[in-house]
């Protein structure tokens, strides 16, 4: 046995990566239910999704506050009674609000599903939005914001989105003390009424379902037109980008690190360059062996980690390179980032590296598709963006077949340093 | 029920196989029985720095990550005060690549001066990012020193101070490797779409000829019972006052550990937990409050931490916490409340077991505790805890003499 020689491997291009199909049901009132089953474990994930993200709010923070406070008391039970009942069954009811959508997600053991559904019905269909709960929320969110504003990475994330999209666009708007102070129970109620209605609801279920799951969903969520019918308009909103591209901000004079951000606009996921950029972005800064990690962490030791990411926003996307680097090497870090961008413009990616990235990406997707909870996650992101498995399959095909020339062409188009916003927050 | 097979190689390496043919993936997990508690007090942070060096090339393989990524794999590692754990996930067809890589770095590292040089810097930045450049980032350094007089839990995994990491030499690295990173001190778990026969053959082939090494005999001074309350006041450039209280609890293998774990859930697990309900929602003294414990193998700490609502006095905040702890000491909790936290643990364990990687990590962890089979009986230890146990342990744990308190004052206001 020669330890210097690697064992033979099966190449990624040979792996057949397919998305396990979902089953679709429609409740009596028309709510679509997407299901991915797996009976190996006794666990269930049930998610309710509404078009109720910050995109739709007229006043800052209304979407997030509405989403949070739906769970904090109904017209029949207060927050403690509701939380106690849910937690008694060892269940977790999480809520999240994003740019486009807002969610309520239940995780529980399958055998408790029937006990939990009436509680969930009460939470989602009958929230109270009491003044007292809102006041506690406002106070605690303001305190949390005060702590976060001391963190250079938090501050940098706010500024870079503002430069890219403008502070009046939902993608660039940030939380402020003033916005929290301005929240009113009436505006939350109105937002709830308009966005959390039965005809805007989609349900995603994964895991081990009780036999009568669809009947149960029909009983609690499918038999009435709860919250009435509401028609939403989704206008495209104007983006206002910053004129000045280079920014340096001192947030903490004693800071020992700076948060570095280097970012530019990029078309959204419907553009043909998007899936190609997924590959180029991986090469640049999307995995541990990326150009940025190899150079700036593993060669120079400027940082604990550096990453580049492609935003998954709906209207428009962006490419964002981010790191926290030693205070005195922030400028050197930016210089190295530009060098790496230019290297990808000037030289085609070597075949060996491209093949490695193909294999890495396919292996990683294969791992991500392991289990019903993961599979439904993929479907959710397709369905909510009006896409289907062809989009997924096309992405896989691009990972497997994109050439070094195409990638260099893409780099020439999108990696010109002067197109990027740059920011250091110390 | 997690099924597994177990065998030991001639050199003492323990091997556990967990077959799961529902996944196309495989996981290879190597746990080394060494953590920050095994460090020299003058050279803290070494176990973690060493974890970084494990990616700097081994004796026959100059680059660890590249061949793994080429095989469609991902990997990472973590170091705690108790142990160091490395894991790989990759398509099952390429599992031999994982054996090749992990066995070569168990055989010997490359011990490259450049890699040490760079990783010292990387870890310094990690230290800064998490513990210096964050509001309240230094509190757990201070708390460990306050709570532990003797046990090496006195310092954090990242190390006591930056200088310890900055002065590590290549000689230190070599000595550390050959003392701890030997087959006899390691546990290998392979899970996923593999068979036991296949793993046996691959383990023999790749790990079988690595010299066994000497079994490390841990001799750590255990912490004596605390006899007086410890208190510390801190003033720092943070926006809000914060309060931290820690109480000594039990070793992980102690049967009383389970009652202590459930107590932390009663106080801090979920939105209906006592501290959140009374102190955040009803009395509005804290904007957030948490209760949890460190889950360490040697006797650990149960922690309560919260940020005070602006304008609330520290002594009023502390008194309110104390009242909640006294309630647990004076009144036996309702059966339904105990059942609630047990149900919470049951589903937590079920959700943890869903991921192949977690199952492999956990099998290695329970084997380190003495037997991988403990993983399957873990919940029964929670089931038998009674309300009387909770009552008794609350009286022991929340004894004032067993307490460590940090009053963390903001010297600038919002």
DSSP per-residue string spanning A133-200: HHHHHHHHHHHHHHHHTT-HHHHHHHHHHHHHH-TTSTTT----HHHHHH--HHHHHHHHHHHS-GGG
Angle at B67 between CA B62 and CA B72, to 5 degrees: 160
In whole angstroms, what separates CA B142 from the centre of its chain? Answer: 18
Domains of chain B and any CATH numbers: 5-207 (3.30.830.10), 230-410 (3.30.830.10)
Q: What is the DSSP string of B185-231?
A: GEEEEEEES--HHHHHHHHHHHHTTS---PPP----PPPPPP-S-EE
User: Alpha-carbon distance B188 to A207, whole Å?
Assistant: 30
Name which residue leads in pLDDT, A347 or B167.
Answer: A347
Is ipTM beyond 0.90? yes
Contact A150 B135 (CB under 8 A): yes
Give yes or no for a contact between B166 and B120, defined as CB atoms under 8 angstroms apart: yes
Rama region for A28: left / alpha / beta (φ>0; ψ in -120 to 50; rest): alpha
User: Alpha-carbon distance A299 to A3, whole Å?
Assistant: 26
Q: What tens digit of pLDDT does each residue of B145-164 get? A: 999 999 999 999 999 988 99
Across-strand partners of B18?
Answer: B191
Q: What tens digit of pLDDT does each residue of B56-86 get? A: 999 999 999 999 999 999 999 999 999 999 9
At residue B105, the pLDDT reads 96
At residue B414, the pLDDT reads 39
Cα separation values, B380 from A43, A407, B258, B384, B385, Å: 19, 56, 10, 7, 9
Contact A84 B99 (CB under 8 A): no
Pairing assessment for the beta strands B403-410 and B230-236 based on DSSP bridges: parallel
Output the CA torsion sign for B176, B179, B182, B184: negative
Contact A87 B340 (CB under 8 A): yes
Q: Which member of A88, A89, A136 has the closest CB to residue B281?
A: A136
Cβ neighbors of A178 (< 8 A, separation 6 or more) are none
User: Alpha-carbon distance A371 to A362, whole Å?
Assistant: 16
Which residues of chain B are within 8 Å of residue A12 when distances are taken between CB atoms?
A: 72
| A 188-247 residues with CB < 8 A to B | none
Q: Which of B180, B192, B234, B216 is nearest to B358 (CA)?
A: B192
This prediction has a pTM of 0.95
Residue B109 is classified by DSSP as B
CA distance B149 to chain A (A): 30
Which residues of chain A are within 8 Å of residue B126 when distances are taken between CB atoms?
A: 304
User: Alpha-carbon distance B129 to B132, whole Å?
Assistant: 6
Contact A43 B350 (CB under 8 A): yes
Which residues of chain B are within 8 Å of residue A363 when distances are taken between CB atoms?
A: 69, 71-74, 90-91, 94
Residue B130 is classified by DSSP as I
CB pairs < 8 Å spanning A and B:
209
User: Alpha-carbon distance A269 to A249, whole Å?
Assistant: 32
In this structure, which topology does domain A23-222 adopt according to CATH?
Answer: Cytochrome Bc1 Complex; Chain A, domain 1 (3.30.830)
Q: What are phi and psi of B306, to 5 degrees?
A: -155, 160
| CATH 3.30.830.10 domain extents, chain A | 23-222, 246-425
pLDDT average, residue stretch B354-377: 96
pLDDT at B335 over 80: yes
At residue A12, the pLDDT reads 79
Residue B155 is classified by DSSP as S
Closest-CA residue in chain B for A40?
B22
Across-strand partners of A204?
Answer: A34, A47
Give yes or no for a contact between A324 and A332, defined as CB atoms under 8 angstroms apart: no
Q: How many CB atoms are located within 10 Å of the residue B222 CB?
A: 9
E strand or H helix at B125: helix B113-127
Closest-CA residue in chain B for A88?
B340
Closest-CA residue in chain A for B119?
A301
Q: What is the DSSP string of B30-85?
A: EEES--GGGS-TTSTTHHHHHHHHTTS-BSS-S-SHHHHHHTT-EEEEEE-SS-EE
E strand or H helix at A118: helix A113-125
Q: What are phi and psi of B364, to 5 degrees?
A: -65, -40
Instruction: Compute and round to an integer the Cα radius of gyration of chain A.
Output: 24
User: Alpha-carbon distance B131 to B160, whole Å?
Assistant: 11
pLDDT average, residue stretch B214-236: 96
Residues in chain B: 414
Tokens at residue B199, please?
């793993």
The answer, for A250 touching chain B at a CB cutoff of 8 Å, is no
Q: Output the tens digit of pLDDT for each of chain A's 426 residues.
A: 899 999 999 997 788 899 999 999 999 999 999 999 998 889 999 999 999 999 999 999 999 999 999 999 999 999 999 999 999 999 999 999 999 999 999 999 999 999 999 999 999 999 999 999 999 999 999 999 999 999 999 999 999 999 999 999 999 999 999 999 999 999 999 999 999 999 999 999 999 999 999 999 999 999 999 999 999 988 788 999 999 999 999 999 889 999 999 999 999 999 999 999 999 999 999 999 999 999 999 999 999 999 999 999 999 999 999 999 999 999 999 999 999 999 999 999 999 999 999 999 999 999 999 899 999 999 999 999 999 999 999 999 999 999 999 999 999 999 999 999 999 999
Closest-CA residue in chain B for A425?
B133
Cβ neighbors of A262 (< 8 A, separation 6 or more) are A320, A321, A322, A334, A337, A338, A420, A421, A422, A423
Q: Which member of A139, A151, A287 has the closest CB to residue B134?
A: A151
At residue A13, the pLDDT reads 77
Q: Which of A10, A36, A33, A37 is nearest to A366 (CA)?
A: A10
Question: DSSP H helical segments within A289-329, as ranges?
Answer: 291-292
Contact B125 A40 (CB under 8 A): no
E strand or H helix at A43: strand A43-50
Mean pLDDT is lowest, of A32-36, B139-143, B409-413, for B409-413
Look up the CATH number of domain A246-425.
3.30.830.10
Tokens at residue B310, please?
């602006």
Give me the sheet containing A32-37, strands edge to edge: A23-26, A32-37, A202-207, A43-50, A102-109, A92-97
Which residues of chain A are within 8 Å of residue B271 when distances are taken between CB atoms?
A: 71, 79, 83, 87
User: Alpha-carbon distance A140 to B50, whole Å?
Assistant: 40
Q: Which of B187, B182, B184 is nearest to B372 (CA)?
A: B187
At residue A370, the pLDDT reads 85
The answer, for B89 touching chain A at a CB cutoff of 8 Å, is yes
Cβ neighbors of A25 (< 8 A, separation 6 or more) are A32, A33, A35, A214, A217
User: Alpha-carbon distance B307 to B305, whole Å?
Assistant: 7
**Three-state helix/strand/coil letters over B254-321:** CCCHHHHHHHHHHHHCCCCCHHHHHHHHHCCCEEEEEEEECCCCCCCEEEEEEEECCCCCHHHHHHHH
Q: Which member of A147, A304, A326 has the closest CB to residue B135?
A: A147
At residue B412, the pLDDT reads 66
Q: Which of B124, B122, B160, B123 is nearest to B140 (CA)?
A: B160
User: Alpha-carbon distance B190 to A76, whole Å?
Assistant: 51
Give yes or no for a contact between B238 and A147, defined as CB atoms under 8 angstroms apart: yes
Q: Which of B291, B287, B95, B121 is nearest to B193 (CA)?
A: B95
* Burial bucket for residue B387 (CB in 10 Å: 0-12, 13-18, 19+): middle
Q: Which of B316, B296, B329 is nearest to B402 (CA)?
A: B329
Cβ neighbors of A133 (< 8 A, separation 6 or more) are A69, A72, A73, A79
Report percent pLDDT > 70 for chain B. 99
The answer, for B356 touching chain A at a CB cutoff of 8 Å, is yes
The answer, for A16 touching chain B at a CB cutoff of 8 Å, is no
Contact A370 B356 (CB under 8 A): yes
Rama region for A251: left / alpha / beta (φ>0; ψ in -120 to 50; rest): alpha
The label of the residue with tokens 């490695």 reads A356
E strand or H helix at B323: helix B314-330
DSSP, collapsed to helix, strand or coil, labels residue B98 as: helix
User: Alpha-carbon distance B158 to B141, whole Å?
Assistant: 10
């Amino acid at each position: 046995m020669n330890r210097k020689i690697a064992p033979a491997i099966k190449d990624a291009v040979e792996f057949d990566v397919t998305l396990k199909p979902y089953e679709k049901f429609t409740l009596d009132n028309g709510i679509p239910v997407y299901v991915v089953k797996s009976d190996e474990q006794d666990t269930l994930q049930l998610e309710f999704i509404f078009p109720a993200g910050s995109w739709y709010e007229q006043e800052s923070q209304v979407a997030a506050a509405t989403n949070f406070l739906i769970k904090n008391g109904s017209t029949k039970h207060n927050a403690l009674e509701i939380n106690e009942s849910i937690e008694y069954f060892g269940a977790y009811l999480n809520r999240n609000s994003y740019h486009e959508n807002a969610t309520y997600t239940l995780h529980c053991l399958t055998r408790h599903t029937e006990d939990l559904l009436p509680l969930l019905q009460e939470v989602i269909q009958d929230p109270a939005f009491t003044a007292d709960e809102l006041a506690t929320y406002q106070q605690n969110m303001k305190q949390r914001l005060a702590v976060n504003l001391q963190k250079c990475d938090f501050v940098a994330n706010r500024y870079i989105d503002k430069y890219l999209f403008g502070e009046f666009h939902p993608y660039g708007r940030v939380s402020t003390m003033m916005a929290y102070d301005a929240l009113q129970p009436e505006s939350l109620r109105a937002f709830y009424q308009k966005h959390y209605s039965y005809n805007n609801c989609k349900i995603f279920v994964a895991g081990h379902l009780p036999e009568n799951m669809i009947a149960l969903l029909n009983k609690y969520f499918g038999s009435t037109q709860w919250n009435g019918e509401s028609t939403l308009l989704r206008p495209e909103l104007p983006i206002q980008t910053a004129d000045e591209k280079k920014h340096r901000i001192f947030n903490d004079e004693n800071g020992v690190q700076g948060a570095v951000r280097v970012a530019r606009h990029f078309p959204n996921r419907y553009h043909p360059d998007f899936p190609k950029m997924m590959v180029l972005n991986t090469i640049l800064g999307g995995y541990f062996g990326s150009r940025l990690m190899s150079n700036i962490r593993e060669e120079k030791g400027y940082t604990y980690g550096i990453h580049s990411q492609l935003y998954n926003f709906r209207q428009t996307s962006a490419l964002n390179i981010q790191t926290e680097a030693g205070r005195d090497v922030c400028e050197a870090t930016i210089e190295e980032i530009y060098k790496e961008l230019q290297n990808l413009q000037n030289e085609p990616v070597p075949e060996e590296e491209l093949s490695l990235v193909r294999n890495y990406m396919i292996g990683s997707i294969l791992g991500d598709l392991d289990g019903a909870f993961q599979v439904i996650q993929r479907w959710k992101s397709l369905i909510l963006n009006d896409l289907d498995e062809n989009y997924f399959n096309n992405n896989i095909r691009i990972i497997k077949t994109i050439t070094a020339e195409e990638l260099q062409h893409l780099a020439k188009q999108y990696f010109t340093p002067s197109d990027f916003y740059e920011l250091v927050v110390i | 029920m997690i099924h597994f097979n177990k065998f030991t190689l001639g050199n003492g390496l323990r091997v556990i196989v967990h077959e799961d043919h529902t996944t196309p993936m495989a996981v290879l997990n190597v746990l080394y029985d060494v953590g920050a508690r095994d460090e020299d007090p003058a050279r803290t942070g070494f176990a973690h720095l060493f974890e970084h060096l494990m990616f700097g090339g081994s004796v026959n393989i100059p680059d660890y990550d590249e061949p793994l990524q080429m095989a469609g794999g991902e990997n990472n590692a973590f170091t705690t005060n108790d142990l160091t754990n490395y894991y790989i996930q990759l398509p099952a067809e390429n599992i031999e690549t994982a054996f090749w890589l992990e066995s070569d770095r168990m055989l010997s590292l490359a011990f490259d001066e450049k890699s040490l040089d760079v990783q010292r810097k990387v870890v310094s930045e990690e230290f800064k990012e998490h513990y210096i450049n964050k509001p309240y980032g230094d509190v757990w350094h201070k708390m460990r020193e306050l709570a532990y007089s003797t046990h090496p839990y006195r310092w954090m995994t990242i190390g006591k101070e930056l200088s310890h990491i900055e002065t590590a030499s290549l000689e230190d690295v070599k000595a550390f490797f050959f003392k701890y990173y030997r087959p006899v001190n390691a546990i290998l778990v392979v899970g996923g779409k593999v068979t036991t026969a296949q793993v046996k053959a691959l383990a023999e082939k790749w790990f079988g000829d690595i010299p066994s090494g000497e079994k490390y005999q841990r001799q750590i001074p255990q912490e004596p019972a605390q006899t007086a309350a410890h208190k510390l006041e801190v003033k720092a450039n943070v926006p809000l006052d914060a309060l931290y209280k820690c109480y000594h609890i039990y070793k992980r293998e102690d049967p009383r550990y389970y009652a202590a774990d459930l107590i932390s859930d009663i106080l801090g697990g979920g939105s209906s937990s006592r501290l959140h309900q009374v102190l955040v929602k009803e009395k509005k003294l804290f904007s957030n409050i948490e209760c949890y414990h460190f889950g360490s193998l040697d006797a650990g700490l149960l922690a309560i931490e919260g940020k005070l609502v602006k304008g609330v006095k520290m002594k009023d905040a502390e008194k309110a916490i104390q009242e909640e702890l006294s309630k647990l000491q004076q009144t036996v909790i309702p059966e339904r409340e105990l059942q609630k936290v047990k149900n919470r643990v049951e589903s937590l364990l079920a959700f943890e077991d869903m991921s192949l990687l977690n199952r492999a990590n956990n099998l290695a962890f329970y084997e380190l505790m003495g037997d991988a089979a403990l993983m399957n009986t873990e919940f029964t230890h929670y089931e038998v805890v009674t309300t009387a146990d909770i009552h008794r342990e609350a009286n022991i744990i929340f004894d004032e003499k067993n307490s460590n308190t940090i009053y963390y004052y903001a010297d600038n206001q919002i």
